[in-house]
C-alpha cells in the first residue's frame, strides 16, 4: 500500500508521500482541502488503522476491503459520505478495479485496490492556481475523481466501438470458432462493464437527491452532468450488446449459407455422375444377347447420350436456380 | 461556423448573417424575440466566445461541443433553459446530427454540429405577419424548432416503413447474404433512431412538468401535442424493429426450406439410381456359371425390372409426399 | 364527408342528416344532448369550418386529421374533453380506423376517417325511451361509443382465436412457406391491434382519474368496467402473440423432423446398396486368376452373402433405432 | 342453476337448497352470516332476478355472466364488494372456471359458471362449532372461499411439477413430434394459469389496501398470507415456464445430435466403400493391355490393398474422433 | 426436532439443549437476550406447542411448517416480527432449506426444516465478551443470522463461478449430451437460487423501511449493508445466467461447426471418387467396337487422366477454400 497526501487551499498546494499508515498516527490535518489517496490496498490492518484515525465505521472498512463482492453505492454516515464504484481497465485481469471514497467537509480519502496514476490530471488541475478546484470544496474534488473514472469508461467504450466495427467485417468472412470466441469475449467484457455502470447511475442519482450539508448547492449542475454521462455510457453499453447480437446473427447466417452452398455443389456433382455411372454399368453387363453391344457406333452413341443427359441436368439445375 | 440572427416582434422582422462569433462582441440585443442560429460548429473557441457573451455555463458549452457522447436532455439554469436533442438524416455519415438550444426570456440560441436549411420553413412562418410566432414568445419559437425536427423523424420513419415493405417481398425470394446485410443495416439505423427518440420523450415530459417562468402556460397544449408525436415516433420505431425480426424469420425459413427442397430432390435422384447401379453391377460379374446370362430375353427382363423398381420408388416417394 | 346529428332528452329524439359542414353555420344547438357524427372526413377545410363553429383548438383539428401518426389519447381543454382512439376492422386496408371524439357538457362530436354503421346500436338504444341514455348525460353517450368500439375489439380477438386454433392443426401438417407467411400475417395484425389497445388503456385510466366537471360521478363504475375490458383485450392480444410463437416453434420442429426423417431413410437406402455394389464390382474384375469365378455355385453364394449383409445392416439399423 | 343457502351464527347452522331463483322472491334474510351459492349459472334471467332481489348493479351482473372475457378484479360498490376470479381445473374443457363473489356486511353471494363441490371443506369448517368461522364475519367467509381456490392452484402447480420432471427424462430419449406437442400443451396450460393468477395477485393487493368497513381489521394477516400464497403460485408458474424452455432446448439438442450422429456414421460407411468401388471398377475395365490382370496373385494383392485402405480410413476417422 | 437455547447479556452466556418442546412448558425466560433454535422441525404438533407457549399467530405457524410453498417475506405482528427466508446448500436434495425467524424485544426464535451447524460462528461470536452481540439487542442477533445465510449464498455463487469457468473450456471441446445436461443442471440451480435471493431483497428492503420499535436505529447501517450484499448476490446470479446462455451458444456453434466440417470432408471424398468411378465404368463396357480398348498405352493414359482429374478437383476445392 502506498499513501499520498495532497493538501490545498486558495493560497497554495502541498503534497506528501507515506509508505505506511502508521506514519499517519498523530498526524494533524492542516487547513484547506486534503486528499489522502491509498493505492494497492491489500493489508486489512493498514485500512483498519486508517479507519481508527479518521473515525470510519467498521462496515465501511468491510466494503473498502471486499473488492469482489462490492457493488457501486452511496452511503451517508454521521460524519462522512461513502461512495464506492468501479474503474474499468480491460488490460488488467478482471477488468475492474475497486475505488472507495470517503468525503468529509474538508477531506477526501480514496482507497484503490490497484495502483495506476489515473488521477495525475486531477493533481495537475489542483496545481493550477486559477483552476476551479482552488475555489471550491472537497465535494468538487470528489466529483472530479468520479468524473475522471467515468471519462475512462468512454475510452473503453470507444475501444469496444472500434472492435465491433472490425467484427462487422470479420462476420462476413470468418467461419471458424475463433470468431465466436472473440466476440463472446467482448460480450463478456460488456457484461462486466454493465455491472459497473448501471449501479453507479443509481448512486449518482442518489447523490443528486441527497440532502447533505457535505454537498454544496453549486455542485448540482456538475452532478447532473455526471449523471448524464453515466446514463450515456450505460446506454451505449446496451446498444453495443444489441449490435453484437446482430453481428453474431449475420455471422451464423453467412457461415451456414456458405456451407450449404458447398454441400449443394458437391451433391450436384454426385447427382450428375450417378445416372451416368448407371448407364456405363448397363453396358458392362455380360449377357450373351445384348443387341447394342455389336452395333458398331453404339459406343459413341452412348457417349453422346451421356453428354446430353449431363448437359440436360446442368441446364435443369440452372433453370431452377439450384446452381 | 456560420451565424445567422433573426429578430422579430409584432411589428416587423429583420435578419443578419455573421461569419465569425467575434462580430457579436459588443452586439446589442434589439427588442423583440431574437433567434441566433450557429451552424457547423467545429471550433470550440467560437462557442466559448459566444458563451462568454451570453453568460452560458461552462458545462453547457461542454454539452454543446461533445456531439458524440451527448444524449438528449433538458437542463434548467438560473437564466436559461438548455435543451439538446438529435436530428436524424440517414443520408449523412452517422445518421444523427446534434442540436443544442438555449432558451431565455426573449432569445433562442441554436447550435448545430452540421449545416442544412431544415429551419427555413420556420423562418418563413415568422415572416408571415398573421402567424402565431409574431404573437407568442421565445418559448413558442423553441417549440417549433423541436417540432420541425420531430416532423423530420416521421420522414425517416416513413422511409423505413417503405423499405420494410420492400424487405417483406425480398424475404420470399432472396437467399444470399446481401439480404441479411441490408436488413441488419436498417436494424442498426432503427437502433440509432431509438436512442435519439426515447430520451427526447423524457426531455419533453420534463419540459411539460417544469415550473419555469421561461415557459408560458399557453405553450402547454403544444408541448402535450409534441410529446404525443414523440411517443408515436418511438413506438413506431419499436414496431418496425419487431417487423424486421419477423421478416428475418420468414427469410431464414424460406432460404432453409428451399435448400432442403433441393437437397431432398438431389438425394432422391441418387437413391433411385444406386439400387439400379447395383443390379447392373450384378450382371457385370464374371462368374463362369451365371444361368441368367445365357437366357436370351434376360437383358430386356433386367431393363424391365429396373424400370419397375424406378417407377415403384417414385410412386413410393410420391405417396409419402417426399417429392 | 357525411354529417348526421342526433338530439335527445328525456322527452324525445330527433335526427338530421347534412351533406356539408356549411349547413351547420348559424345552426342553433337545441336543448338536450346532441351527438354530431362526421364520417369519412377527408377534406381538412370541412373539419376546420366545424372547429370554428364549435370552438375547437387548432391542435385538436390537427389530431383529428392526422389519422396515420395519431395515437390513442385523452386531452383536457378549457371547454371540452378530447378523446381519440382506433377502431379495428381487419377487412379494411390498414385494419385500423381513426375515431376522434369531443365531449362538452351536453354535446358529443365524433369524427371518423372511415364510414360504417358501427354506431347504429347506440342510436337504437337512444330511441328506447326507458334506456339509460335518456336519463344520463353526454358523458354516458361518449362512454357507450368507446364501449362499442372496445366490444368490436373482442370480435376481432375472437376471430384471431379461431384462426390460431386452425393454425395449431396446420402446424402439424403443413410444411411450405404459405404457412409461415399466413402466421406472420396474423402476427402483424396482432401487433397493429396491440398498438391500438395499449394506449387506449392508458387513456381510459386517465379518464378515470380526471377531475373534470364534464364527467359525472355516476359514470365511474362504467369507466372502471370499460377499463377492465380494455385490459382484458390487451392481455388476450399478448397471450395470442405467445401462442403464435409456440405454434411457429412446433411447425419448425415438425418440418425439420420430417425432412430429417426423409433424408435419413434415403441415406440408409444408399448405405445398404453401396457395400453391395462394391461386392458385385469385385467379381466384375477381369483378373485372369480369380478362383471364385470358376466355382460353379459361387454366383449363388455371392447372392446369399449380399442378402445376409443387407439383412444384417437393416437389423443393425433397427436395433440402433435408426429406422 | 342450483342454489344452496348456508346460514350460521355463533349459536347454530342451517342450510337450504333451491332449484330456482324465483323461490328467493320474498325471502327474508335471517340473522347471522348467510352464504348463497349459485352453481352452473347459465340463464341470464336467473342472475338478473337475483340481482334485483339483492340490489346488485347491472355492470356486476354483466361481469358475473361474461365468463370468457372477464378478468380477476375487485370492485367496490356502495353497498357491497365485488370480487371475481378464476378456479383452475385442467380436467375440464377450458381449464378455467369463473367465480364471482359479492360481499355485504353479513352475506356472501357466490356465482360459479360450473358446478363442483370444491367448497365442501368450508361448509364442514362452518359446522365446527369451535371453528374460526363462527366467531368471525362474512369477510372471513369470503377469504376462506378465495383461499380454497388458491390452494387448488397449488394442486395444479404440483401436477405440472411432476409432469415437468417426467418431461425432463423424456427430453433425453424421445425424438418425435408427440413430445413437442405434449410439452407445448403444458406450456399453454401454464399460460392460461398465469392469466388467472397474476391479476388475482393485484386484486388481493387491492383488497389489502381497501379502506372498506366491509373488511374488518382482524382479516389483515389472513389477506397478507393469501397475497403471499398467490405471489408464490405466480412465481412458480413463471419458473415452470423457464424450466420448460430449458427442457425443449435439451430435447432439440438431443434430437439433432442423435440424427447428426446417425448421418455421420452412414456417410462414413459410404465414404469407405466409394474408393474401394473405384478400385474394383479399375480392374473391371476391358483394356487389351492391362499388365496386372495376368499377374497371378494380383487379385489377392488388390484384396489386400483394399483391406489396408479400409482399415487406414477407419483409423484416420478414429484419430480425428469422427467415429 | 432438536431445541437449543442460548441466553446472554453483557455479563455472561448460558446454553441449554432440549429434545422436546414439552420441556419448554412452564419455562421462564431469563433476563437478557435469548435465542431459541429449533432444527429439523418435522412434527407440526411440536411447533404448535411452541406457538402456544410464545403466543405465535396460527398463520405464522402455517408459514413455518409449509417449507415448499413458502416464499421469503417479512411480516409485522402485534408482539413480534416474522422473517422467513431460504438457506442454500446445493449438496442437499432440493438445494434450499427453509428458515423462519421470530423476533421479539429480547428473544429470537429460529425454525429450520433441516439441521446443520451453520450458526456455530454466531454462537462463538456471542461467547466473545468484547463482541458486538453482547452490547446490542435481539435485532442485531437476527441480523447476524440473516447475514450468515447471505454469506453462504456467496459460497454457492463462487462455486457456480468456478463451474462456469470449467464450462467455458468444456464448451470448446465437448460435443455430446452430457455437456448440455450438466449446464442445464447449473442453470436450474441458479433459477432456484434466484427465487431464494430476489424476494429476500424485498424483505430486507421492507425491514429497512419498517417503523418498528423492535428494530433499533443503530441497526440501520447493518441492514443497509445486508441489503447491498443481497442485491450483489441477486445480480451475480443473473450475470451467471447470461454467461451460461453465452456458453451454450458457443458450444452449439462449436459442435455444429465440427460436424459440418466432418460432413464436408466426407462429401468431398465421395465427390472426387464418383467421377473416377464413372470413367472406369466406361471402359468396363462390353461394346464390340471401342477403339481405346485395343490401344496399348490406353490403360496408363486413363490412369493419368484420372489422376489429373483428382488433383484438379482437389486444387479447385482448395482454391475455393472448401477444404
Quick one: pLDDT at residue C276?
95
Report how far residue C84's alpha carbon sits from residue A141's, in angstroms, rounded to the nearest whole number. 53
Query: Picking from C13-27, E101-115, E154-168, E285-299, which range would have the lowest pLDDT averaged per residue?
Result: C13-27
CB contacts < 8 A (B, C): 109
Quick one: pLDDT at residue D252?
86
What is the pLDDT confidence band of residue B135, given thresholds at 50, 70 and 90?
Answer: confident
Chain A residue with minimum CA distance to E284? A284
What is the pLDDT confidence band of residue C117, given thresholds at 50, 70 and 90?
Answer: low
Quick one: pLDDT at residue B218?
85
Quick one: pLDDT at residue E117?
58
> Which of the pair, A205 or C22, is modelled with greater confidence?
A205
**Architecture, CATH, for domain E256-319:** Up-down Bundle (1.20)
A220 interfaces chain B, CB cutoff of 8 Å: no
Q: What is the DSSP string of E147-191?
A: HHHHHHHHHHHHHHHHHHHHHHHHHHH--SHHHHHHHHHHHHHHH
Query: For D248-253, what is the mean pLDDT?
Result: 86
Q: What digits encode the pLDDT tens for the residues B42-92? A: 888 889 999 988 999 988 998 898 877 788 999 888 889 999 999 988 877
Chain D residue with minimum CA distance to C169? D181
Question: Is the pLDDT score of A284 beyond 80?
Answer: yes
What is the pLDDT confidence band of residue B279, given thresholds at 50, 70 and 90?
Answer: very high
Question: Is the pLDDT score of A9 beyond 80?
Answer: yes
Query: For E15-37, what is the mean pLDDT?
Result: 84
Chain C neighbours, 3+ Cβ pairs < 8 A: B, D
Put residue A109 in one of left, alpha, beta given phi > 0 → left and psi -120 to 50 → alpha.
beta
| Nearest CA-CA distance, residue A34 and chain E, Å | 26
Q: What digits encode the pLDDT tens for the residues E134-169? A: 888 899 999 999 999 999 899 899 999 999 989 988
Mean pLDDT, chain D, whole residue set: 89
Question: Is the pLDDT score of E11 beyond 90?
Answer: no
**E294, D284: Cβ pair inside 8 Å?**
no
Residue D249 grid cell: 432446448
**B290, A286: Cβ pair inside 8 Å?**
yes
Chain E residue with minimum CA distance to D261? E259
**B289, C274: Cβ pair inside 8 Å?**
no
**A264, B267: Cβ pair inside 8 Å?**
no
Q: What is the DSSP string of C122-164?
A: HHHHHH-TTSSTTTS-HHHHHHHHHHHHHHHHHHHHHHHHHHH
In 3-state terms chain C splits into helix, strand, coil percentages (rounded to 5) of: 60, 15, 25
Query: For A244-264, what is the mean pLDDT?
Result: 87
Domain A255-319 falls in which CATH fold? Methane Monooxygenase Hydroxylase; Chain G, domain 1 (1.20.58)
Question: Is the pLDDT score of C69 beyond 90?
Answer: no
Q: Which residue, C199, C78, C212, is CA-closest to C142?
A: C212
Report how far residue E323's alpha carbon sits from residue E317's, in angstroms, rounded to the nearest whole number. 6
Which residues 252-311 on chain B approach chain A with CB closer than 8 angstroms?
252, 255, 259, 262-263, 266-267, 269-270, 273-274, 276-277, 280-281, 283-286, 290, 292-294, 296-299, 302
In a mutagenesis test of the E interface, which of D132, D228, D229 is the best target, namely the one with the most E β-carbons within 10 Å? D228
Q: Same CATH topology for B2-253 and B254-319?
A: no
| Nearest CA-CA distance, residue C314 and chain D, Å | 12
Query: For B213-222, what is the mean pLDDT?
Result: 87
Question: Is the pLDDT score of E56 beyond 70?
Answer: yes
Strands (E), chain E: 2-8, 13-18, 33-39, 73-76, 81-88, 96-103, 107-112
List the domain boundaries for chain B.
Answer: 2-253, 254-319
Quick one: pLDDT at residue D217?
84
Is residue A78 within 8 Å of residue A141, measured between CB atoms? no
CATH class label, A2-254: alpha beta
What is the pLDDT confidence band of residue A226, given thresholds at 50, 70 and 90?
Answer: very high
Quick one: pLDDT at residue B116?
65
The pTM of this model reads 0.82
Could you tell me whether strands C13-18 and C33-39 are parallel, antiparallel, or unpaired per DSSP bridges? Answer: unpaired
**A286, B281: Cβ pair inside 8 Å?**
no
Q: What are phi and psi of E13, to 5 degrees?
A: -130, 140
**E293, D290: Cβ pair inside 8 Å?**
no
Check whether domain E2-253 has CATH 2.160.20.60, yes or no = no
Top mean-pLDDT range of B247-256, B275-284, C240-249, E118-127: B275-284
Is residue B183 within 8 Å of residue B165, measured between CB atoms? no
What is the pLDDT confidence band of residue D211, given thresholds at 50, 70 and 90?
Answer: confident
E235 interfaces chain A, CB cutoff of 8 Å: yes
Quick one: pLDDT at residue E93?
66
Q: Which residue, B259, B4, B34, is CA-closest to B138?
A: B34
Quick one: pLDDT at residue E18?
85
| Nearest CA-CA distance, residue B273 and chain C, Å | 9
Question: Is the pLDDT score of E25 beyond 80?
Answer: no
Quick one: pLDDT at residue D26?
76
Query: Picking from B284-293, D61-70, D238-247, D307-316, which range would have the lowest pLDDT averaged per residue?
Result: D61-70
Question: Is the pLDDT score of B195 beyond 80?
Answer: yes
Query: For E15-22, what is the mean pLDDT?
Result: 83
Q: What are phi and psi of A212, to 5 degrees?
A: -110, 140
In a mutagenesis test of the E interface, which of D253, D263, D294 is the best target, namely the one with the most E β-carbons within 10 Å? D253
Quick one: pLDDT at residue D275?
94
Query: For C255-275, what is the mean pLDDT?
Result: 89
Question: Is the pLDDT score of B204 beyond 90?
Answer: yes
Which residues 24-63 on chain B approach chain A with CB closer than 8 angstroms?
57, 59, 62-63
Residue E74 grid cell: 417479512
Q: What digits encode the pLDDT tens for the residues B106-120? A: 999 999 988 765 788
| Nearest CA-CA distance, residue E60 and chain D, Å | 9
Which residues 149-208 on chain B approach chain A with CB closer than 8 angstroms?
175-177, 180-181, 184, 187-188, 191, 195
Share of chain D above pLDDT 70, in %: 99
**E286, D288: Cβ pair inside 8 Å?**
no
CATH class label, C261-319: mainly alpha
Query: For C85-114, what is the mean pLDDT?
Result: 87
What is the pLDDT confidence band of residue D40, given thresholds at 50, 70 and 90?
Answer: confident
Report how far residue C145's alpha carbon sits from residue D58's, in angstroms, rounded to the nearest whole number. 18
Quick one: pLDDT at residue E144?
94
**Architecture, CATH, for domain B254-319:** Up-down Bundle (1.20)
Q: What digits encode the pLDDT tens for the residues E229-273? A: 999 999 999 999 989 988 988 888 888 888 888 888 999 999 999
In a mutagenesis test of the A interface, which of B57, B62, B71 is the best target, namely the one with the most A β-carbons within 10 Å? B71
Report how far residue E186's alpha carbon sits from residue E243's, in angstroms, rounded to the nearest whole number. 12
What is the pLDDT confidence band of residue B240, given thresholds at 50, 70 and 90?
Answer: very high
For residue C235, list chain D residues with Cβ-Cβ distance below 8 A: 71, 195
**D172, E176: Cβ pair inside 8 Å?**
no
Number of residues in chain C = 323
**D284, C284: Cβ pair inside 8 Å?**
yes
Query: For A212-234, what is the mean pLDDT?
Result: 89
Question: Is the pLDDT score of B255 beyond 90?
Answer: no
| Nearest CA-CA distance, residue D156 and chain C, Å | 20
Question: Is the pLDDT score of A277 beyond 80?
Answer: yes
Q: Which residue, C66, C62, C9, C18, is CA-closest to C38?
A: C18
> Which of the pair, D205 or D69, is modelled with greater confidence?
D205
**D271, E270: Cβ pair inside 8 Å?**
yes
Quick one: pLDDT at residue B160?
92
Quick one: pLDDT at residue A257?
84
**C255, B257: Cβ pair inside 8 Å?**
yes
Quick one: pLDDT at residue D114?
80
Quick one: pLDDT at residue C249?
84
**A70, E284: Cβ pair inside 8 Å?**
no
Mean pLDDT, chain E, whole residue set: 89
Q: What angle do CA C181, C186, C187 make, to 5 degrees?
A: 90
Amino acid at each position: 500500500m502506498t499513501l499520498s497526501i495532497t493538501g490545498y487551499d486558495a493560497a497554495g498546494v502541498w503534497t506528501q508521500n507515506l509508505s505506511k499508515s502508521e506514519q499517519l498516527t498523530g498526524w494533524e490535518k492542516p487547513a484547506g482541502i486534503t486528499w489522502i489517496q491509498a493505492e494497492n490496498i491489500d493489508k486489512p490492518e493498514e485500512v483498519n488503522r486508517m479507519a481508527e484515525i479518521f473515525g470510519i465505521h467498521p462496515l465501511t472498512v468491510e466494503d473498502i476491503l471486499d473488492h469482489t463482492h462490492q457493488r457501486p453505492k452511496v452511503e451517508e454516515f454521521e460524519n462522512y459520505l461513502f461512495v464506492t464504484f468501479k474503474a474499468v481497465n480491460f488490460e488488467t485481469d478482471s477488468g475492474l478495479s475497486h475505488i472507495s471514497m470517503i468525503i468529509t467537509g474538508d477531506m477526501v480519502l480514496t482507497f484503490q485496490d490497484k495502483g495506476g496514476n489515473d488521477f495525475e490530471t486531477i493533481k495537475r488541475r489542483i496545481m493550477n492556481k486559477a483552476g476551479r478546484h482552488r475555489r471550491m470544496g472537497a465535494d468538487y474534488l470528489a466529483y472530479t475523481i468520479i468524473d475522471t473514472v467515468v471519462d475512462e469508461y468512454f475510452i473503453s467504450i470507444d475501444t469496444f466501438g472500434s472492435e465491433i466495427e472490425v467484427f462487422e467485417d470479420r462476420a462476413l468472412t470468418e467461419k471458424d470458432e475463433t470468431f465466436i470466441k472473440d466476440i463472446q469475449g467482448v460480450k463478456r467484457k460488456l457484461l462486466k462493464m454493465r455491472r459497473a455502470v448501471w449501479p453507479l447511475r443509481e448512486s449518482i442519482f442518489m447523490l443528486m437527491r441527497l440532502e447533505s450539508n457535505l454537498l454544496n448547492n453549486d455542485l448540482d449542475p456538475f452532478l447532473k452532468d455526471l449523471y448524464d454521462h453515466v446514463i450515456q455510457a450505460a446506454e451505449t453499453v446496451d446498444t453495443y450488446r444489441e449490435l453484437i447480437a446482430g453481428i453474431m446473427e449475420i455471422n451464423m447466417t453467412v457461415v451456414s449459407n456458405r456451407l450449404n452452398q458447398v454441400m449443394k455443389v458437391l451433391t450436384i456433382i454426385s447427382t450428375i455422375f450417378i445416372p451416368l455411372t448407371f448407364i456405363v454399368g448397363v453396358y458392362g453387363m455380360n449377357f450373351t444377347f445384348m443387341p447394342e453391344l455389336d452395333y458398331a457406333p453404339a459406343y459413341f452413341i452412348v457417349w453422346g447420350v451421356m453428354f446430353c443427359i449431363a448437359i440436360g441436368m446442368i441446364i435443369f439445375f440452372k433453370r431452377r436456380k439450384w446452381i
